[in-house]
Amino acid sequence: MAAWQVQEAKQRFSEVLRKVASEGDQIITKHGAEIAVVIDMDEYRRLRGLDQNRRADSLRALPKFEADDDEISVVLDQVIAERKLYPSGREFSFAD
């Protein structure tokens, strides 16, 4: 990853963008400290979970739940009954 001082990045911004496309992430520094990074837009979307097409594809790949109204009512009744048993939620521990 290349590092650019703020002043240099401002003066050569087009080059910074070209380097992002050809070499990947570019770090911006100020007084020697890393303060920002310029990344490819697709990578930004992936990191932020904003890839709408990928999310839609994932949802489409889920198995379809087919049930009639009676089956759904039975499941919901079971969920409601179980929640009444634990009004403040279930207790659990991360300890072994």
pTM for the complete prediction? 0.51
Looking at residue 9, its pLDDT comes to 96
Domain-located, residue 96: no
Any idea what the CATH number is for the domain that residue 14 is in? 3.40.1620.10
Per-residue pLDDT of the chain (96 residues; tens, 9 = 90+): 789 999 999 999 999 999 999 999 999 999 999 999 999 998 888 887 766 666 677 777 777 777 777 888 888 888 888 888 887 776 777 776
Looking at residue 37, its pLDDT comes to 96
Domain-located, residue 92: no
Domain-located, residue 44: yes
Looking at residue 79, its pLDDT comes to 87
Total count of domains within the chain: 1
Nearest CA to 29 among 19, 47, 16?
16
Domain that holds residue 67: 2-85
What's the rounded Cα separation, in Å, for the pair 52 and 54? 5
Looking at residue 70, its pLDDT comes to 80
